Amino acid sequence: MAVTLVVGSHRLLRYSGWDAVLVALSLAYAVLLIAAPSTVLIALGLWWTANTVAHNFIHTPFFRSRTLNRAYSVFLTVLMGVPQRLWRARHLRHHREQHHERRSRGRQSVADRQRIWTRGLVMETGVVLVLWLGLATSDPAFFAGVYLPGYVAGLALCSLQGHFEHARGTISHYGWLYNWCFFNDGYHAEHHLRPGEHWTRLPAEPRVCSRSSRWPPVLRWLDGVSLESLERLVLRSPRLQRFVVAAHERAFARLLPGLSGVHRVTIVGGGLFPRTALVLQRLLPEATLTVVDATREHLEIAARFLDGGIEFEHRLFDPAVGEPADLVVIPLAFIGDRDRVYRHPPARATVVHDWIWKPRGGGARISWLLLKRLNLVTR
C-alpha cells in the first residue's frame, strides 16, 4: 500500500495541500527536540527529516512564495544542523551524476564550488555555527554528550541510506509501511527517472526498476544475509541450537493441542539443523515424521542430530501435489508460492514458518529475536 494522493492547487502551497503534513511534522519534531531532546531523537529525527521533508523540499519547494521557501529553508537548517542550500547542491549534483551529465569529476567540482557558495549558503552556514556555539556555551555537557553523538549518528544513518539506495544501481522498495512513513521515498528508481515529480504521484508511475528489495534502505544489508548462512551459523553453536529448539518447541506446544489425529507429518526443508523434527519427536512421539529436502547434503547433516525413527526423502516439495500427511510444516526459506500454500494448504493441517509481522490463520510467536512466527492453516 503506497501513499497515493491527488496533487491539487492550494493558495499557500505550490504543489499539493498534502505538503502541509510534512511541514506540520517538521514543526512537531522541533517541539519534541525542545521539550525532550535525546541522542536517539536527534539521530532518528535527522535521518527521517533528511529523507522525507528536506528531500521533497529540495525537488518540489512547498510554498508559492519565495520568501516562505527561504524562511523554511532556514528553519530546516536549524532543525537539522545542516545548511539546506549545501544539502540541496550536493543532492542535485548526485542526480546529475546518476544521469551522466558531467564532463569530468574534477572540472565539475570546481564549478560546483563556485556555484554552491552563494550568499544564502554563507548565511545558513553562519546560522548553524551560531546554533552550535550557543549550545556549546549554554550547556556544554548536552552539546558534547547528547547533541553531537545524535548528530553524527543521524548523518551515519543518512549515509547508510544513500549507499544502499544506489548500491549496484538505483533500487526501489515497495513496502507499504516504509512508503507510508517516508512519503513514498521507496519509489527511488521512479524518482530518479523523474526527479521533479511530486512525491504523491510516484506510485502512479510505471515501475521502471528491474531491481527492488524487500528491505528499506537502512536494512538492505540483510539482502546479503541468506537464511542458509544463518542455519549454518546455528550448526556451529550448541548454544544457538538449544535456543532455537526451545523457542520452536514453545510455539509448537501452543499450536498442536488444537489438532487431533496427527499420525503422519511431512517436514519440508528440514535439512541442516532439524529443529522442527527434534521438537515434533518429543511433542508427537507416536507420529511418523518425514523430512523432505531438495539438497541431499542437508539431509545428511540433519540425520546426525536425530536418533532414528525419521524418514528422509530427497525431493523438491510441490505444494500443488497432495501430500500423504496429516500435518505439513513449511519452512521460512520455502522456495515456491507461499500464498498458494495459505490459500490451498497441502494437508489437512499446515504449519507455515513466517516473519513475525505476517500473521495468517491461527498462530504462535516463535521469538522476537528470530523475528519468526508459526501460522496454522487448515482445510
Which residues span the domain enclosing 243?
230-378
Answer whether residue 225 is part of any domain: no
On whether both 154 and 44 belong to a single domain, the answer is yes
Q: Indicate whether this model's pTM tops 0.75.
A: no
The pLDDT assigned to 319 comes to 80
Residue/partner pairs of 11-19 with CB below 8 Å, 24 or more apart: 11/64, 12/63, 12/64, 12/65, 12/68, 13/62, 13/63, 13/64, 14/60, 14/61, 14/62, 14/63, 14/64, 15/60, 15/62, 15/198, 16/198, 16/200, 18/200, 19/56, 19/60, 19/62
Neighbours of 116 (CB within 10 A): 15
What is the C-alpha to C-alpha distance for residues 95 and 111, in angstroms, rounded to an integer? 16
- Last residue of some domain: 164, 192, 220? 220
The pLDDT assigned to 107 comes to 44
What is the C-alpha to C-alpha distance for residues 177 and 160, in angstroms, rounded to an integer? 19
The pLDDT assigned to 4 comes to 44
- Last residue of some domain: 169, 188, 220? 220
Answer whether residue 7 is part of any domain: no
On whether both 214 and 269 belong to a single domain, the answer is no
Residues 187-205: pLDDT tens digits?
A: 998 898 888 999 999 988 7
What is the C-alpha to C-alpha distance for residues 252 and 364, in angstroms, rounded to an integer? 8
On whether both 199 and 96 belong to a single domain, the answer is yes
On whether both 60 and 209 belong to a single domain, the answer is yes
pLDDT band at 169, cuts 50/70/90?
confident
Residues 223-266: pLDDT tens digits?
A: 766 666 777 778 888 899 999 999 999 999 998 887 888 999 99
If one compares 117 and 246, the residue with the highest pLDDT of the two is 246
Share of the chain above pLDDT 70, in %: 88
- pLDDT(77) > 70: yes
Answer whether residue 9 is part of any domain: no
- pLDDT(106) > 60: no
CATH number of the domain that residue 259 is part of: 3.40.50.150
Looking at the chain, list the stretches that DSSP marks H as alpha helix, in order from N- to C-terminal side: 19-35, 39-49, 55-59, 66-80, 84-98, 105-116, 119-138, 140-142, 148-166, 176-181, 188-193, 227-235, 238-255, 275-283, 296-303, 338-343
The pLDDT assigned to 105 comes to 43
